[in-house]
Amino acid sequence: MRHGVDEGLRDHVRALLDTYDDGVLPIVQAGHPVLRTPAVPYAGQLGDVLPRFLEAMRATMHAAPGVGLAAPQVGIGLALAVVEDPGSPDADDERERPPLAYRVLVNPRYEAVGHETRTFFEGCLSVHGWQAERTRARTVRLTGQDGAGRPFDDVLTGWPARIVQHETDHLRGELYVDAADLRTLASTLGVARLPGDVR
């Protein structure tokens, strides 16, 4: 039975990739049930389609543009995500935003390291057009596997830690707004017009 399920999912993903042959997939928005359903752990379900799917996720993330994308955001309920951030050129950026090289997260999990937290505006490609302040752990320990199945166990601080928390939460069926300060909710356009641009 599982073999048939995997084949069906693989065929579905292959058809999705063939439909959007430029590699940029549609991003589902809040209200779609896949965003509220915990993702299924990845155990090889996509077989040889996985590299192509990951490349499409990366292309979609860049086109959005964004710094992370989880598989449920393109309608596929598997525990896969991609992240990449050029960082901030401002050495005094209080967000602590060094470059984050492209990486694939398979079945990621995180736990806070220490008790320090940071609060910043955060947005989401699946909650298009809105931002709100969200408090998160400043430093996390991230575990999981890469796209080749190799395990990793890393400690990340600052903005990279925020990115992986956000994407891993997607795989739990959570959105950043679930624990955001909704009194700070603002349209992206409205935030961009604030003095000093607090994004």
Nearest to 135 by CA among 116, 154, 109: 116
Please indicate, yes or no, if residue 183 is contained in any of the structural domains: yes
* Domain count across the chain: 1
The predicted structure's pLDDT at residue 197: 42
Encode pLDDT of 25-36 as tens digits. 999 999 999 999
What amino acid positions are annotated as catalytic residues? 167
The radius of gyration of the chain's CA atoms, rounded to the nearest angstrom, is: 17
Is 124 known as a binding-site position? yes
Encode pLDDT of 106-161 as tens digits. 999 999 999 999 999 999 999 999 999 999 999 999 999 999 999 999 999 999 99
Nearest to 70 by CA among 164, 177, 178: 164
For the chain, first and last CA: distance in Å? 48
Please indicate, yes or no, if residue 121 is contained in any of the structural domains: yes
Please indicate, yes or no, if residue 198 is contained in any of the structural domains: no
Please indicate, yes or no, if residue 76 is contained in any of the structural domains: yes
Q: How far apart are CA 184 and CA 186, in angstroms?
A: 6
Is 166 known as a binding-site position? yes
Please indicate, yes or no, if residue 199 is contained in any of the structural domains: no
- Which residue segment(s) compose the domain that 181 sits in? 2-192
Strands 151-157 and 180-187: unpaired
User: Counting beta carbons within 10 angstroms of the beta carbon of residue 40, is it exposed (0 to 12), middle (13 to 18) or buried (19 or more)?
Assistant: middle
Q: What's the whole-model pTM score?
A: 0.91
Is 62 known as a binding-site position? no
Q: Considering the chain, what percentage of its residues have pLDDT values greater than 90?
A: 86
The predicted structure's pLDDT at residue 7: 87
Identify the CATH number of the domain in which residue 115 sits: 3.90.45.10
The predicted structure's pLDDT at residue 188: 81
Please indicate, yes or no, if residue 175 is contained in any of the structural domains: yes
Please indicate, yes or no, if residue 17 is contained in any of the structural domains: yes
Cβ contact 139:161 at 8 Å: yes
Give whole-number Cα distances, 135 to 57, 77, 85, 108, 166, in Å. Answer: 27, 26, 20, 20, 11
Encode pLDDT of 43-99 as tens digits. 999 999 999 999 999 999 999 999 999 999 999 999 999 999 999 887 678 999 999
Which residue did the predictor score with more confidence, 168 or 191?
Answer: 168
Please indicate, yes or no, if residue 81 is contained in any of the structural domains: yes
Helix (H, G, I), strand (E, B) or coil at 139: strand
